């Protein structure tokens, strides 16, 4: 999988995140106009968050500071529940004032932290990469690689029993495979016709 594909996907993820944040800002502004108290609550929550951050940075653990932190925590809880109640009264989801991400596991970042605190790809990003590689390996070259461009001359007409464990030449063998494949396509809708199974070393197709 090339880095280019991953980079393109990550750019898409960034766009999704930006859009989710932009949409949230629009929702906020509309709702603030209708319910100004929500704007006040968010302002108070923001300043409480700044004070909390300053406290953590100062790392002061005096008794006075602990009391202050507890009071601040209580205030935050009260403000949060007031906010949720206002949303409820207006028949809005409690998450209405949070960004709507497509993937709630990674919040559209494409990465999550696993149990060992290691940053790993989110399942949504893995799935996208799988889809792309699947489409590439199965469909991408169909225009160039199909029965019309099939050339049996690429296969030797000399049997090589020691190399291929076959009495027939590689050319005869590939022509047999071609006719079986065409037969399979002809009978694709026939439920009684057997499936084809291609086997070989890893990486062969
Ligand atoms: Zn995800």
In a domain? residue 151: yes
pLDDT band per the 50, 70, 90 thresholds, residue 118 = very high
- C-alpha of residue 139 to centroid of ligand 1, in Å: 26
pLDDT tens figures, 75-87:
999 999 999 999 9
180 and 93, same domain (yes or no): no
What length does the chain have?
205
Q: Is the pLDDT of residue 155 over 60?
A: yes
What is the DSSP code (8-state) at residue 4?
H
In a domain? residue 110: no
Question: Could you tell me where the DSSP H helices lie in 92-198?
Answer: 123-135, 161-164, 170-186
Mean pLDDT confidence for 94-108 = 94
Question: Could you tell me where the DSSP H helices lie in 35-62?
Answer: 36-58
pLDDT of residue 44: 96
Domain range for 170 is 147-194
Q: Is the pLDDT of residue 132 over 70?
A: yes
pTM for the model stands at 0.57
pLDDT of residue 203: 57
In a domain? residue 85: yes
- C-alpha of residue 111 to centroid of ligand 1, in Å: 7
In a domain? residue 203: no
CA distance 198 to 205: 8
From first CA to last CA, the distance across the chain in angstroms is 17
- C-alpha of residue 22 to centroid of ligand 1, in Å: 19
- C-alpha of residue 99 to centroid of ligand 1, in Å: 14
- C-alpha of residue 107 to centroid of ligand 1, in Å: 6
**Residue finishing a domain among 82, 102, 122:** 102
Residue 91 or residue 3, greater confidence: 91
Residue 180's beta-bridge partner residues? none
- C-alpha of residue 106 to centroid of ligand 1, in Å: 4
Half-sphere exposure of residue 154, counting CA atoms within 13 Å on the CB side? 5
Question: Could you tell me where the DSSP H helices lie in 90-165?
Answer: 123-135, 161-164
CA distance 61 to 116: 30
- C-alpha of residue 15 to centroid of ligand 1, in Å: 14
At how many degrees (to 10) do helices 63-89 and 36-58 cross?
160
pLDDT tens figures, 134-151:
776 655 566 677 888 889
- C-alpha of residue 9 to centroid of ligand 1, in Å: 12
Residue 68's beta-bridge partner residues? none
Tell me how many domains the chain contains: 2
In a domain? residue 202: no
Instruction: Characterize 30-58 residue by residue with b for buried, 16 or more Cβ atoms within 10 angstroms of its Cβ, and e for exposed.
Output: ebbeebeebeebbebeeeeeeeeeebeee
98 and 18, same domain (yes or no): yes
pLDDT tens figures, 5-16:
999 999 999 999
C-beta separation of 196 from 179 below 8 A: no
């Amino acid at each position: 999988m090339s880095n280019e594909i991953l980079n393109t996907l990550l750019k898409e993820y960034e766009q999704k995140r930006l859009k989710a944040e932009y949409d949230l800002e629009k929702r906020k502004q509309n709702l603030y106009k209708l319910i100004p108290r929500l704007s006040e609550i968010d302002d108070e929550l923001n300043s409480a968050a700044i004070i909390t951050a300053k406290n953590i940075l100062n790392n002061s653990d005096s008794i006075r500071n602990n009391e202050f932190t507890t009071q601040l925590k209580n205030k935050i809880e009260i403000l949060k529940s007031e906010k949720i109640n206002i949303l409820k009264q207006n028949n809005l989801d409690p998450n209405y004032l949070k960004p709507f991400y497509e993937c709630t596991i990674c919040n559209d970042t494409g990465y999550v932290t696993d149990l060992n605190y290691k940053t790993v790809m989110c399942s949504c990003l893995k799935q996208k990469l799988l889809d792309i590689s699947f489409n590439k390996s199965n469909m991408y070259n169909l225009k160039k690689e199909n029965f019309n461009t099939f050339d049996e001359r690429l296969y030797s007409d000399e049997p090589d029993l020691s190399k291929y464990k076959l009495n027939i030449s590689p050319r005869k063998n590939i022509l047999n495979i071609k006719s079986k494949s065409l037969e399979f396509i002809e009978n694709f809708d026939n439920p009684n016709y057997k499936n084809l199974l291609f086997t070989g070393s890893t990486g062969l197709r």
